[in-house]
Amino acid sequence: MQSSMSRRSLEEMATRRDRSGSLWLVQAFSGLLLVLILGAHMIAHHFIVEGGLRDYQQVLDYVANPFVFIIEIVFVITATAHALLGARAIVLDLRPSAATMRVVNWVLVAVGAVAIGYGLWLAVALQRAAGA
Amino acid sequence: MDNIQPTTDPVRPKAPLRSWFDVRGRSLSTLAFALNRLTAIGLTIYLFLHLAVLSLLLRGPEGWDQFVALAKNPAFLLLDVVLLFGVVYHMANGIRVALVGMGVAHTRQKSLFYVLVGIALVAFVVGAVLIFVE
């Protein structure tokens, strides 16, 4: 009984490590994707625009382009996922208890869902305003 | 939800948060790690502020164009420079961490750090000048 429980807990630990490894890979690949998207975002929004920021009409003209619209949505999702996975890693560094970490995980998922939902809603609203 | 790492790792410092700010006798990689974490926190806060500020677009030209005028204030531009530093440093060090973590150039991570952060610093100086010139 003892040895079967030990074996099971070892298997659980291995599974958890696999999942942490998967989350690390998501963090790494989302980071590399962000290098491209954020780089393009900063150049498009701040460095090639006269005055450094688009005015209202320029923003609408920009998001009216379907390609830009899709890139901006991918950007919101990738940046939010990367940021919240990073926040989770920081919390893990503070040596929380397993119970605290469960709560933190749910809070981060909720914050991520709200942020991504809001970002998508905003992008759609702006595209509608651009078409109006 | 249950992918929780063990928190009893003996190599982790006992007070991790305080250790980020204690630079005495630290190796370059520890300092790089600490700065990466600090820039990550700043950028995460900025991401959510940025999303909130974008809601001004829903108020039409009055709301957004007023904000654009405010954002061209020199104090605001200085904050943009700080933000740019955070972005380019986090980007450069993040590329190093991702590459080394995937087993690429892990024996040359110090050189990788100097090259990538060097490129980031050049991008930062060019970007900072453009922020104030434009």
What are A64-91's pLDDT values in tens digits?
889 989 999 999 999 999 999 999 998 9
Tell me what pLDDT residue B102 has. 86
Per-residue pLDDT for B94 more than 80? yes
Does residue B54 lie in a domain region? yes
What are B100-112's pLDDT values in tens digits?
888 888 788 889 9
For A:45-74, CB contacts with B below 8 A are: 46-47, 50-57, 59
The larger pLDDT score, comparing residue A17 to residue A117, is at A117
- May I ask the CATH architecture of the domain A2-131? Up-down Bundle (1.20)
What ipTM describes this predicted complex?
A: 0.81
Q: How confident is the model at residue B8 (pLDDT cuts 50, 70, 90)?
A: very low
Which stretch of DSSP H or E encloses residue B32? helix B28-54
Q: Which domain holds residue B53?
A: 28-133
What are A42-62's pLDDT values in tens digits?
888 777 887 778 888 888 988
- Angstrom distance (rounded) from CA B43 to CA B46: 5
Q: Which of B5, B37, B95 sits opposite A35 (nearest CB)?
A: B95
Q: How far is CA A1 from CA A4, A5, A12, B14, B84, in A?
A: 5, 6, 16, 35, 58
Any idea where the domains of chain A sit in the sequence?
Answer: 2-131
The structural domain count of chain B equals: 1
Greatest CA separation found in chain A?
Answer: 72
pLDDT above 90 covers a percentage of chain A that reads 44
Does residue B121 lie in a domain region? yes
Question: What CATH code is carried by the domain that includes residue B109?
Answer: 1.20.1300.10
Does residue B49 lie in a domain region? yes
Answer whether A5 touches B (CB < 8 Å): no
Does residue B15 lie in a domain region? no
Inter-chain CB proximity A102 and B2 less than 8 Å: yes
User: What does the radius of gyration of chain A's CA atoms come to, in whole angstroms?
Assistant: 20
Residue in A with minimal Cα distance to B34? A90
What integer is the mean pLDDT of A110-125? 95
Contacts of A84 in chain B (CB under 8 A): 44
Residue in B with minimal Cα distance to A46? B131
Does residue B34 lie in a domain region? yes
Q: Is the distance from CB of B12 to CB of A109 less than 8 angstroms? A: no
Per-residue pLDDT for B18 more than 80? no
Does residue B68 lie in a domain region? yes
For A:71-130, CB contacts with B below 8 A are: 76, 79-80, 83-84, 86-87, 90, 92-98, 101-102, 105-106, 115, 118-119, 122, 125-126
User: What does the radius of gyration of chain B's CA atoms come to, in whole angstroms?
Assistant: 19
